[in-house]
């Protein structure tokens, strides 16, 4: 035999096993299996051999070829999975550090806290009420009858056909507080509310409200006016004027929509107030007797007022923002301004 196949196999095996990297293995592939490699050379010399040598050598060379192909492929796999990260790290502890970024509170959080702070100064307590509500708390107890349009699935996110939903306003907070506590009560309920509205410059499927209510014996509409006037002057400045327009809410009677004089034009009329000079900021009224009945308060003992305001709307007026979507896009260039 012209070649000692066994010795060749042993040598190739050693060389391939000791390859340090992929380039090293590749060099072995070329050396043994390449077009001009050792195996190819053996095959090219076969015609010069005797018939018996030819078949023997051909057989061995073929076996060696398969053996080395497999060995090389395994070695490549092995090298690819090895962790090539350096074992020691070059660490220069004298380099200047990376300054951690200091965040700011979201503008909605800031306005929400500002609103709550004004009411806590007036003696109101803050109550945290859940965002997942029962149909009873969100509607029934608030005197919103079965056939009222806002009960349709269109206006409320329902949860899996159960009688649970994402609260569409913070008013169910009134029910939770009154079911749990007896008057006198002065409470604000801040938080997220949900409505399946198409998103545009003034609508979002999620926004924030602050609910407020006060219940005691002999609470009057003038108390509501006093509290809300103090609130808007604290928030927007002492020159702000208020206007109460008659309105309808199922859970208050009488009800009103409350406007403030336009913060942009001071009532002269501009594009923000639609030339009206007034901006609607909240809904309010005297709590309906049916609501007291639903929470089990004795008949004719208490009176009270309630109001609810949208935080995004107030923040937009306060900062002159014309698109509600800006609050929820997480654009730091916008958020860093507050």
- Give the binding site for ligand PHE (CB under 6 A): 169, 171, 211, 249, 252, 283-285, 306-308
CB of 145 to ligand PHE, least distance (A): 16
Residue closer to ligand PHE by CB (options 191, 283) is 283
- The CB-of-283 to ligand PHE minimum distance in angstroms stands at 3
Query: Shortest approach of ligand PHE to residue 212 CB, angstroms?
Result: 8
Q: How far is the CB of 307 from ligand PHE (least distance, A)?
A: 5
- Between 42 and 178, name the residue whose CB sits nearer to ligand PHE: 178
DSSP structural state of residue 123: T
In 161-240, beta strands by DSSP E: 164-166, 185-194, 206-216
The tokens of 83 are what?
């962790």
Helix axes 107-121, 311-319, angle to 10 degrees: 100
For residue 49 the two structure tokens come to: 């051999």
User: Residue with CB nearest ligand PHE?
Assistant: 308
**Residue number with CB closer to ligand PHE (69 or 150):** 150
Whichever of 124 and 249 has its CB closer to ligand PHE, that residue is 249
The secondary structure of 245-296 as a DSSP string is: EEEEETTEEEEEEEEEE-TTTTTS--TTTTTSSEEEEEEEEEEPHHHHHHTT
Q: Tell me the sheet residues that pair with 249.
A: 252
By three-state DSSP, how is residue 61 classified? Answer: helix
Nearer to ligand PHE, 8 or 111 (CB): 111
Give least dist CB 228 to ligand PHE, A.
11
Strands (E), the chain: 125-126, 132-134, 158-159, 164-166, 185-194, 206-216, 242-249, 252-261, 278-287, 303-310
Q: 195 is written with which tokens?
A: 């409505």
Q: Which is nearer to ligand PHE, 171 or 303 (CB)?
A: 171
Tell me how far, at minimum, the Cβ of 168 lies from ligand PHE, in Å.
Answer: 7
């Amino acid at each position: 035999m012209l070649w000692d196949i066994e010795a060749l196999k042993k040598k190739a095996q050693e060389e391939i096993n000791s390859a340090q990297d992929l380039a090293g293995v590749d060099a072995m592939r070329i050396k043994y299996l390449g077009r001009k490699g050792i195996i190819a050379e053996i095959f090219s010399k076969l015609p010069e051999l005797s018939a018996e040598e030819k078949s023997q050598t051909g057989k061995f060379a073929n076996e060696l070829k398969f053996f080395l192909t497999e060995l090389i492929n395994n070695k490549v796999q092995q090298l690819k999975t090895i962790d090539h990260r350096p074992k020691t790290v070059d660490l220069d502890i004298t380099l200047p550090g990376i300054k951690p970024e200091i965040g700011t509170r979201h503008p909605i959080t800031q306005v929400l806290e500002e609103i709550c702070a004004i009411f806590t100064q007036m003696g109101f307590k803050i109550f945290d009420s859940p965002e997942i509500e029962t149909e009873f708390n969100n509607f029934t107890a608030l005197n919103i009858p079965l056939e009222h349009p806002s009960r349709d699935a269109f206006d409320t996110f329902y949860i899996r056909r159960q009688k649970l939903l994402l609260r569409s306003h913070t008013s169910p907070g009134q029910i939770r507080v009154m079911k749990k506590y007896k008057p006198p009560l002065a409470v604000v309920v801040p938080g997220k509310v949900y409505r399946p509205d198409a998103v545009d410059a003034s609508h979002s499927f999620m926004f924030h409200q602050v609910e407020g209510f006060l219940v005691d014996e002999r609470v009057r509409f003038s108390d509501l006016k006093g509290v809300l006037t103090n609130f808007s002057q604290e928030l927007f400045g002492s020159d702000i004027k208020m206007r109460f327009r008659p309105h309808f809410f199922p859970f208050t009677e009488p009800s009103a929509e409350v406007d403030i004089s336009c913060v942009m034009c001071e009532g002269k009329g501009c594009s923000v107030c639609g030339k009206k000079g007034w901006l609607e900021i909240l809904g309010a009224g005297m709590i309906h007797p049916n609501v007291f009945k639903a929470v089990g308060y004795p008949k004719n003992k208490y009176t009270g007022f309630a109001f609810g305001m949208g935080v995004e709307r107030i923040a937009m007026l306060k900062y002159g923002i014309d698109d509600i979507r800006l609050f929820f896009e997480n654009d730091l260039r916008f958020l860093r301004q507050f």
